Amino acid sequence: MLYLGLDVHSKWFTMAGFDQETGECFKAPKVMNDPSAIAETFAALPTPRCGAMESGTNALPMRRLLKPYFDNLIIVSPNKVWDRRRDAGPKTDSRDAFRLAEELSFGRLRPIYLPDDALRAQRTLVRGRIQTAQEITRQVNQLYALLRSWGAPIEKKLLTKGGRSWLDTVTLPEHAALVLEHQLDRLDALITQEMALDARIATLTKDDIVCQLLQTIPCVGPLTALVLRAEIGDIGRFVNADKLVSYAGLDPRVIQSGEHCRYGGLTKHGNAYLRYIAVLFAQNAMRSRADTPFKRRFYRLCHAHHPNEIKIMLARDFLTVVHSMWRTHTAWQYPRPAPSSVA
């Protein structure tokens, strides 16, 4: 078996490995990401071949291009392979590729979940929507900073109709007024983009059974449902809710030695978009007037914990509920139905 590691970049990749039976080493320092160059490189290599590459922006397209030349080609997460704080040796593309081949031959590499094209398209859509919302927040903060810098008394929120009407009455110097006008145009464009993405998301969730199921949870709309649907993908790969919480990076760090065990801050190792939407749900649940278990737990904890701590607790509870409902295909029920009596 020929084990090969690939360090993939945007224009080329470096490949290194060895034949486990003969011990012969192979190395291709720089292979262009071109079908003809790839075919020429692999024509001189023995078979069968097993390869590994790191996840990245172009990892899935490159895997699709390289897969015909391998019996098995996996994509792994870099943080599961490297520890740059402890690796004291020099770092080069060839060394990284050969290290991947070694770890692959020892069976230490675990492939990541690869979504299909339809799921990848949904992820692109919801991530674009989240990024647009973050851009709107950043733009509004810039408007606030500009107005404060010129001593304008901000009386209303700028995203409301009253706030926009108030902006028309604000008088700034010529150059500052020009900057304010451009920032408002950029804000209007972002809001229009956000509305278009929301319409597309609403259309997709109407035909998705899982999204309709998740929207039975209070405070869950089309965006939250589709983010959960796209970022989780297959709920069957999480054997329990704790695995899903860990995937979202909402589990605490554990520092254990001997009889001493201490829990630190959040790991934040995992899907950042899933963590974002879970915390956003917790924030909305805390503000909602609906009588839900999340709201009741907030009332129980608000006297002893900081609101940010409660958000994390509710976000974990939310993912636990999502895991249970999705696995059992059960809609939201609150209060829970009384157990039937046995005659």
User: How is the chain split into domains, by residue range?
Assistant: 2-105, 117-207, 222-328
Asked if 223 contacts 126 with a C-beta cutoff of 8 angstroms, the reply is yes
**Running DSSP on this structure, what letter comes out for residue 311?**
H
Asked if 285 contacts 291 with a C-beta cutoff of 8 angstroms, the reply is no
Reduced to 3 states, what is the DSSP secondary structure of residue 6? strand
User: How far is 228 from 204, CA to CA, in rounded Å?
Assistant: 13
Vertex 214: Cα angle to 322 and 232 (nearest 5): 55
Beta bridge partners of 28: 15
Each residue's pLDDT, cut to its tens digit, for the chain (343 residues) gives 999 999 999 999 999 999 988 889 999 889 999 999 999 999 989 889 999 999 988 999 999 999 999 999 999 988 778 776 666 677 888 989 999 999 999 999 999 999 999 999 999 999 999 999 999 999 999 999 999 898 888 877 888 888 888 888 888 899 999 999 999 999 999 999 999 999 999 999 998 999 999 999 999 999 999 999 999 999 999 999 999 999 999 988 888 878 888 887 787 788 999 999 999 999 999 999 888 999 999 999 989 999 999 999 999 999 999 999 999 999 998 776 666 655 4
Residue in the block written with tokens 């869950």:
220
Q: Which CATH architecture has domain 2-105?
A: 2-Layer Sandwich (3.30)
The neighbour count for residue 21, using CB atoms within 10 Å, is: 9
Q: Name the amino acid, one letter, at 319.
A: L
Asked if 292 contacts 286 with a C-beta cutoff of 8 angstroms, the reply is no
Q: Which helix (H) or strand (E) holds 326?
A: helix 307-328
Tally the residues of the chain.
343
Token pair for 279? 């915390």
